[in-house]
Structure 1
Amino acid sequence: MTSPPPAQLDHLVVAARTLAEGVAWCEATLGVAPGPGGEHALFGTHNRLLRLACEHAPHAYLEIIAIRPQATPTRPAGLKRWFDLDDPALQARLAQHGPQLVHWVASVPDVVAATRQLGALGFDRGPVLAASRPTPQGLLQWRISVRDDGQRLLGGALPTLIQWGDTHPADAMPASGIALRSFTLSHPDAPQLQHALDTLGLSAMPVAPGPAALTAQLDTPQGPRTLRSAI
């Protein structure tokens, strides 16, 4: 039996006020159009995806995500969407400044065990939910940690945890011509964040002291680009 891959960066999350704005941002900023994504009935969101070449994360990709207009999440009423998408302050920033990097997701071999490990450190990463969406290749299934209030934690620097089923979405994504050269994190309590990442098996993720932020350095057809969260 093949062992599951170790914990690693899975994808970067770029939030947009609307998906159309996210696509336009991607074309203007990165020089390419994002590939198809899908709809998430559980949260009433939809996305577009773009594969990233990355030496240390072979399945890395960029997700552009937005609330789907007129969609009612199938999640129980009163629970918030993932990635703080229901947060008025985040939506105000997106309206004023446009799409931006807000979060990252780490894939782990056992999402239930990893969530418990964070809980032992005092981080309530939320319950593990089963999610899915249809694709041309079949039903894509995964398990993901999402808090009832939708919060990202530590200003987005502490990753959401995901465990994919038999298929990873990046397997069906064509090369985009974009490479992720580096991805770094900062936080006022850098040792606390580093300890949490060490516990998850993500010790190689660079963490620096400073304001809570995520920074991705990309090589694109339009030259080097830096994506930095504005939290």
Structure 2
Amino acid sequence: MQLDHIAVSGESLEEAAETIESALGVAMQPGGRHEVFGTHNRLLGLDAGLYIEAIAIDPSAPRPKRARWFDLDHFVGLPRLTNWICRSEDLIAALSHLPQAGNPVNLVRGNLAWTMAVPQDGGLPFNNLHPALIQWQSPHPSVVLTQCSCALRQLIVIHPEALALQRMLTPVFDDPRVSFENGAPGLVAEIDTPHGLRYLH
């Protein structure tokens, strides 16, 4: 598996996007709507084929028939970095190692098509700090995003059982940009920007 993108959730998309823009000093780009989950997003391209996603419940969309991904049904409070997403060229094989990541759901948004593993209740293990798993069926979104001279330096996954999560992932994931620390649950992204090193958390 490879690191694909990171997600900042908010009670509204405007708040989530503003949090990213304020932290990094660069403008978000348009995203779209996810009809299956009743959410919408905006994106920000990073170097090395990564991107940041701002995501929230779409108030204009009907309530979905299933729990929303990223545990958004239970999201409250200020916008924050909530999820990291890893891609696989064979999602079914990845799920044979990490079945707790959920069940495959096929999704389409404009010219993008992908399959995402989503738990039945929408929430991932380890207080949602287990990576979400994705397999792209279309070209990756990063190829159409305008680059903003931002690059992920380090993603720190913090959890009381962070080392157990790391051991669980080691057979299928190894990226020096992702580190694990014991502590209160959370994510911290160190990002190089045109304005210097900035942080998302």
Q: TM-score normalized by structure 2?
A: 0.92
Provide the C-alpha distance between the structure 1 equivalents of 2:179 and 2:20, rounded to a whole number of angstroms. Answer: 25
The amino acid that maps onto 2:25 is G
| Equivalence for 2:186 | 213
Task: Determine the C-alpha separation between the residues in 2 that align with 1:174 and 1:71.
Answer: 28
Q: 1:104 aligns with which of 46, 70, 84?
A: 84
- Of 130, 138, 141, the residue aligned with 1:169 is 141
SS at match of 2:166: helix
Report the counterpart of residue 98 of structure 2 in structure 1.
118
Range that drifts further, 179-188 or 38-47: 179-188
User: How much has 1:19 moved relative to structure 2?
Assistant: 1.4
The aligned runs of 1:115-194 (5 Å cut-off) are: 115-119=95-99, 124-134=100-110, 139-194=111-166
Q: Is the 8 A contact 1:194 1:203 kept in 2?
A: no
Give the Å deviation of 1:64.
Answer: 0.2
Tell me how far 1:203 sits from its aligned partner: 5.8
The answer on whether the counterparts of 1:156 and 1:213 sit within 8 Å (CA) in structure 2 is: no
CA contact (8 A) 1:187 1:212 kept: yes
Q: Which residue of 2 aligns with 1:30?
A: 24
Residue 28 of structure 1 aligns to a residue in which SS? Answer: helix
Within a 5 Å distance, the mapping from 1:3-42 to structure 2 comes to: 7-42=1-36
Q: Is the CA contact 1:183–1:206 (under 8 Å) kept in the aligned structure 2?
A: yes
Question: Take 1:21 and 1:186, find their aligned partners in 2: how far apart are those partners?
Answer: 24
Answer yes or no: is the 8 Å Cα contact 1:16–1:65 preserved in 2.
yes
Distance 1:114 1:222 in 2: 37
Shift of 1:175: 0.6
> Could you tell me how far 1:157 is from its partner in structure 2?
2.0
- Aligned CA RMSD, in angstroms, stands at 1.6
- The one-letter amino acid of 1:128's match is P
> Gaps spanning 5+ residues in structure 2: where?
none
Deviation (angstroms), 1:126 = 1.4
- Length, aligned pairs only: 200
Mapped contact 2:86–2:133 kept (Cα < 8 A):
yes
Q: Give the 3 Å change call, closer, same or farther, for CA 27–194 of structure 1 in structure 2.
A: closer
SS state at 2:174 partner: coil
CA contact (8 A) 2:81 2:200 kept: yes
CA–CA distance in structure 1, aligned partners of residues 120 and 54 of structure 2: 22
Deviation string for 1:181-201 (max 9, x for gaps)? Answer: 111212222332012211323
Identical pairs, percent: 39
* Greater C-alpha Rg: 1
TM-superposition CA deviations, 1:92-119 (whole Å, max 9, x none): x23xxxx210111001121111112113
Equivalent AA in structure 2 for residue 213 of structure 1: G
The AA in structure 2 aligned to 1:106 is C
1:222 aligned partner? 195
Matched, 1:43 2:43: no
Residue in 2 that maps onto 1:4: none
Distance in 1 separating the partners of 2:185 and 2:10: 20
Relative to the length of structure 1, the TM-score reads: 0.81
Does structure 1 retain, via aligned residues, the 8 Å contact 2:101–2:130? no
Match of residue 81 from structure 1: 68
Letter in 2 for 1:69: P
Matched, 1:68 2:61: no
Output the amino acid matched with 1:210: G
